[in-house]
Amino acid sequence: MYIRGRYLALALIASIGISSGVTALVTSNNGTSALPGSSTATPEFTKLMDTYNTLQKSYYQEAKSDTLLNGAIEGMIKSLEDPYSTYMAPQEAQQFHENIESSFEGIGAEIREEEGKIVVVSPIKGSPAEKAGIKPNDRIRSVDGKSLDGMTASEAVLHIRGKKGSKAELVIERPGQQGELNISLVRDTIPLETVYSEMLPEQMGKIQITKVSETTYTEFSKALTDLKAQGMKGLIIDVRQNPGGLLDKTVQMVDMLLPEGKMILQVEYRDGSKDTYKSDAKKEDLPIVVLIDEGTASAAEILAGALKESGDVPLIGTKSFGKGTVQTTKSFDDGSDIKYTIAKWLTPDGNWVHKNGIEPDYKVELPAYASLTAIDPEKEMRQEQFSNEVKSAQTMLDALGFKPGRLDGYYDAKTTEAVKAFQTANKLEATGTIKGTTAIKMMEQLQEKLKKNDLQLEMAERVLRKMIP
């Protein structure tokens, strides 16, 4: 999170499409730059200065000043053992700000580093990552053959990002599933649009917020106005798979939905002092429910927590991610930044959600097939093969009503017959193998089935229906 005026802008989770690193000088309290060994350095930096001078003079190869200083800064940040504190070289800092303010090219997923592994927080709606079936808590072990183990999230982003149209070959480790998944996808432009709205039956409006960027409040306000003009009687806010974003925009949205004077959140610093954010706008007179899941993080959790505790708004879905710290950034003249944690944020009632998440009032799980990864249309699956990809395909067939007989990843004769039945039903050549159009059709129909069987949304509609006068 970084400070902008009276608001704090959330930069809570590194994004694929963002990268981090820094080339910077050690800065003294008065804002002047002090190189190691200079007369302005404070006594506690003697060891650092001695190391710097020794390496410059005696290392067997030339030790560049920038490299040594960058390494020292990186070491300081890493010693905090905080996955949300990082450094950003000029290119990485530029990408970071682009993700907050504009579109970028990549696979479209928010990530973080956890114990040396790169972990997905949430795929972005409509992105290649979401279409490929990447899920929250997936571990990205490698990309294009390059291991990401041991990298910071910012370092990993440099390898995961790429030009639109370029292919990314990912190796994924999914908790609770044996073996690794090989996922192939094509990078694309990740869209700016963050708010999607529609009118559901019985004049119930639905607004989905996919992340919180510079344009989100404006988009949300317009969506709310449009739905009200259509006679909306109640509102479902969907922040599932929302990895967070800017706090000032979140505060503005929540401000529209809570009575004046109600607490939105508290920000607590290490000395115990707190900043409080309260609603000062007129509340929309609407019954509201909120959808959350394990991909709901940071700013999205602020919205959910504020509405739950200050507005008695029921939450529906599964427990949220649990990101409760605040970051700030410091920029340097060369375009680099450091991002580091300065505080923790608390819900209106003073609860710290960090690593705990927010529990829904109505716990509703999605069907098991909702967590399946995509299958690669370019790779052929046929009889006698055994893999996790085959297991995913078998589960898809089973969910679509074409019984493969087994779901363990072994492609036997019965799986072949199930594939032929699916192909025949969809007027495709009945080869009994899965590739190309067959794979694409399977995934499209599964997505459509999931959309029609969104148990969490169904519960939200039932709950909201009872709240509408």
In the chain the domains, ranked by start, together with CATH numbers, are: 104-190 (2.30.42.10), 195-326+341-367 (3.90.226.10), 373-452 (1.10.101.10)
Which amino acid type is present at position 391?
Answer: K
**For range 92-98, the mean pLDDT:** 74
Per-residue confidence (pLDDT) for residue 88, from 0 to 100: 84
Which amino acid type is present at position 78?
Answer: K
| Torsion from C-alpha of 416, 419, 420, 423, nearest 10 degrees | -160
Q: How far apart are CA 461 and CA 445, in angstroms?
A: 24
Q: How far apart are CA 239 and CA 290, in angstroms?
A: 7
Question: What is the rounded average pLDDT for all residues in the chain?
Answer: 86
Per-residue confidence (pLDDT) for residue 36, from 0 to 100: 44
The answer on pLDDT for 31 being more than 90 is no
Tally Cβ neighbours within 10 Å of residue 284.
13
Q: How far apart are CA 111 and CA 297, in angstroms?
A: 11
Tokens 């050690």 belong to: 26
Buried (b) or exposed (e) across 348-369, using 16+ Cβ within 10 A?
Answer: beeeebeeebbebeeebebeeb
Summarize pLDDT for 152-198 with one digit per residue, the tens: 887 888 899 889 999 999 999 998 888 899 999 999 988 768 999 99
Summarize pLDDT for 100-129 with one digit per residue, the tens: 665 678 999 888 888 889 999 888 888 999
| Active-site residue identified among 92, 268, 309, 461 | 309
Higher pLDDT: 436 or 296? It is 296
Total-model pTM? 0.73
Of 354, 335, 340, whose CA–CA distance to 85 is shortest?
A: 340
Of 306, 310, 314, whose CA–CA distance to 289 is shortest?
A: 314
Per-residue confidence (pLDDT) for residue 143, from 0 to 100: 96
Per-residue confidence (pLDDT) for residue 314, from 0 to 100: 98
Per-residue confidence (pLDDT) for residue 271, from 0 to 100: 96
| Backbone Cα Rg of the chain | 25
Per-residue confidence (pLDDT) for residue 125, from 0 to 100: 80
The answer on pLDDT for 92 being more than 80 is no
Tally Cβ neighbours within 10 Å of residue 300.
33
Contact 456, 291 (CB under 8 A): yes
Higher pLDDT: 149 or 98? It is 149
Per-residue confidence (pLDDT) for residue 136, from 0 to 100: 87
Per-residue confidence (pLDDT) for residue 126, from 0 to 100: 84
Tokens 């927080």 belong to: 121
**For range 88-101, the mean pLDDT:** 74
Of 231, 233, 205, whose CA–CA distance to 220 is shortest?
A: 205
Per-residue confidence (pLDDT) for residue 102, from 0 to 100: 55
Per-residue confidence (pLDDT) for residue 193, from 0 to 100: 82
Mean pLDDT lowest among 29-33, 67-71, 354-358: 29-33
The answer on pLDDT for 326 being more than 90 is no
Question: Could you tell me which residues come within 8 angstroms of residue 340 by beta carbon, excluding any fewer than 6 positions away?
Answer: 77, 80, 82, 85, 86, 327, 328, 330
| Active-site residue identified among 142, 154, 298, 392 | 298
The answer on pLDDT for 407 being more than 90 is yes
Q: What residues form DSSP beta bridges with 184?
A: 169
Q: How far apart are CA 301 and CA 346, in angstroms?
A: 10
Q: Does residue 323 carry a catalytic annotation?
A: yes
Per-residue confidence (pLDDT) for residue 177, from 0 to 100: 84
SS3 189: strand
Per-residue confidence (pLDDT) for residue 276, from 0 to 100: 96
| Active-site residue identified among 262, 323, 391, 441 | 323
Contact 171, 181 (CB under 8 A): yes
Tally Cβ neighbours within 10 Å of residue 272.
6
The answer on pLDDT for 402 being more than 80 is yes
Per-residue confidence (pLDDT) for residue 99, from 0 to 100: 67
16: which 2 tokens? Answer: 């694929």
Higher pLDDT: 415 or 95? It is 415
Contact 244, 13 (CB under 8 A): yes
Contact 245, 235 (CB under 8 A): no
Helices (H) and strands (E) in the chain, counts: 12, 22
